[in-house]
Chains A and B, each alone.
Chain A
């Protein structure tokens, strides 16, 4: 009998823990890491002088260097590309860019291999195997900047050139990182495009992958900082998680629409999965601001705008296709260019034309790319796809 009572007590404790603790709700996002934010200047009306951006201190080179790397300048090299995961359109696009660059250069061969889920442990094991196999270069997009660092350092020790793209690692664990666009640039582009649709007093919600994904966490933190600085009247309703899952993203966006009704003016999609799924949710709810097909177009009060990061092919139906006008602007760098640049940077690092003193690097059709933040190579400002230009892209 005593054990029964004890068991029941333990059970109660678990249940209480499980039910009461969640009640401590947290209604908005404050960034998953404690890094400082750096919002860009607000857009200014014509005639006024723009606020001078503070000149950035040049940062000395802070990357790592491979130990005793063989001199392979101009010779054929074998590289492996380890993105966060295989199986999403975004990394299929970076792979495409890498293959284009490899074909142009003629002396680089790249294979892509990564876990099927964005899992830090599996990614480490994959890289480990390629170090043993003995490649000349590793391209990576980190699932976690710290967790991946030890294995990358081992690669450098083994004389392998290491270049990151899309998602960074600790600087000393790789030579270079090809930065698609700076975090604050993305934050500004997203918020400015949203304001253009819903006004400076609109209210919005966010659908992201997970709160732990470093890139998304930084972007959201920068968006928040920029919005507070430039559009304090906007209302930030909520941020929800939806993994990299199409169906879940759709359900979460639908729930947001149902929850806030006319109070919701816009949804930000933070991933290439969440943005098309959010657009789909708006379409299926019949809330597109411009909806030719709908029997009764929603009033401006009810309409929901979608702005987000996504690949053009996935967004065409909502920008120029069957539901044209439902989404007006998609923010993204060109992931094909990103993969392309990464291969050129790797080649330059192997050839010795990109050294710790360099301030720029030649990257084929992309021209000259600048070195920033010590050991990062900037692809450029984020690109905004809209009805005029989205048809020109196919990835």
Chain B
């Protein structure tokens, strides 16, 4: 890759190549931090760096990972989606209520899962519609739907949890495929798809363009509105997918599922070097972000740190990582 460090006045291609090499650097920094953390944690417990433990951690991070992938797109456009946790709860409840053999619907499981995914898509689509067509800022829109969707989940479930799914339903959340937890394959596939879409397609470039300068993107003929609706719809779909995996993993549905998930996902994305103001970021960064958070949680626990102590460390790492990034960013910007 040819990196030109000429000051302003570059052609768009040069700008974007500079940007890309720059992003690469941010991820490299994060990767170094992660490796240091892993080494440090491995000293704390000899059970940390084992295939068994790491694969098991993969099971636990899948839901956050899936949601963080779509959140990356949203944050790159300069938006945010606080409603993902509630969409997860709503979809989980819908899945349970639609399937529940004693309930009013008693659909076959496949149909229930389909409806669950559909509800997620609609929920995300509604978010997008309000944001794009009515011009309500994403933070407010999703703050409102955070309450609305969770409320619907509670209302629909009437506080009843649905249990007792057939054995084959648990394959996704508790089973294995080729020795690796099933849901990790799903996560892996979506990691690849989103990474390719964001870095190699017109759509991906448009996502950055919207985040950098929405008005400019509009004037250059990009269907900004349609792209944004698509991205929020995708976010709803990912939350629904996460709901499906979550229900299969814990074998029950409750209306409080996924509460607080949005902050975990945002933390992973931001830790991964995506700017909260939009315009820059990458899927690789997000992947490193959510893996680092999960490894910290796990490794610290194995070294004997309690849950509350772990929360403190993660908060500190989040601030420090961004601080270090900013520092290096500014130095390289000056130099």
Contacts and interface: CB of A to CB of B under 8 A. Distances in A.
A43 interface: no
A121 B129 contact: no
Given A7-B134, A147-B252, A212 B311 contact: no
Contacts of A18: 148, 151-152
B60 interface: yes
Contacts of A134: 47
Main SS at interface, chain B: helix
B4 interface: no
B302 A133 contact: yes
Given A7-B129, A21-B155, A129-B298, A119 B134 contact: no
B159 A210 contact: yes
Interface stretch (A109-117, A228-236, A318-326, A358-366): A109-117
B213 interface: no
A212 B302 contact: no
B91 to A, nearest CB: 15
Contacts of B155: 21-22
A150 interface: yes
Nearest to B298: A129
A4 B302 contact: no
A334 B174 CA distance: 38
Nearest to A147: B250
Contacts of B246: 121
B130 interface: yes
A11 B307 CA distance: 42
Contact of A121 (B47, B53, B250, B306): B250
Contact of B307 (A113, A132, A210, A212): A113
Given A119-B260, A124-B250, A10 B126 contact: yes
Contacts of B56: 128, 132
Interface string B239-263: 0000000100111101111011000
B297 A125 contact: yes
Interface in B247-301: 249-252, 254-257, 259-260, 297-298, 301
A144 B161 contact: yes
B302 A132 contact: yes
B160 interface: yes
A115 B310 CA distance: 10
A32 interface: yes
Contacts of A124: 60, 250
A165 interface: no
A32 B254 CA distance: 11
B161 A146 contact: yes
B306 to A, nearest CB: 4
Interface magnitude class on chain A: 35 or more
Contacts of B130: 11
A122 interface: yes
A211 interface: yes
Contacts of B133: 3-4, 7
Nearest to A87: B308
B158 interface: yes
Contacts of A150: 174, 249-251
B218 interface: no
Contacts of A34: 102
Given A10-B126, A10-B129, A132-B53, A146 B301 contact: no
B205 interface: no
Given A7-B133, A21-B155, A146 B148 contact: no
B314 to A, nearest CB: 13
Nearest to A241: B159
Contacts of B52: 132
Contacts of B60: 124-125, 128
B45 interface: yes
Given A133-B302, A210-B256, 11 more contacts: A14-B126, A21-B155, A26-B158, A32-B161, A116-B307, A129-B298, A132-B56, A133-B301, A144-B161, A149-B251, A150-B250
Q: Which 4 A-B residue pairs are closest in the complex by CB-CB distance?
A: A211-B159, A129-B301, A147-B250, A146-B252
11 contacts: A10-B126, A10-B129, A32-B160, A113-B301, A113-B306, A120-B254, A128-B56, A144-B254, A210-B256, A211-B159, A212-B161
Interface of B: 45, 47, 52-53, 56, 60, 102, 126, 129-130, 133-134, 148, 151-152, 155, 158-161, 163, 174, 246, 249-252, 254-257, 259-260, 297-298, 301-302, 306-308, 311
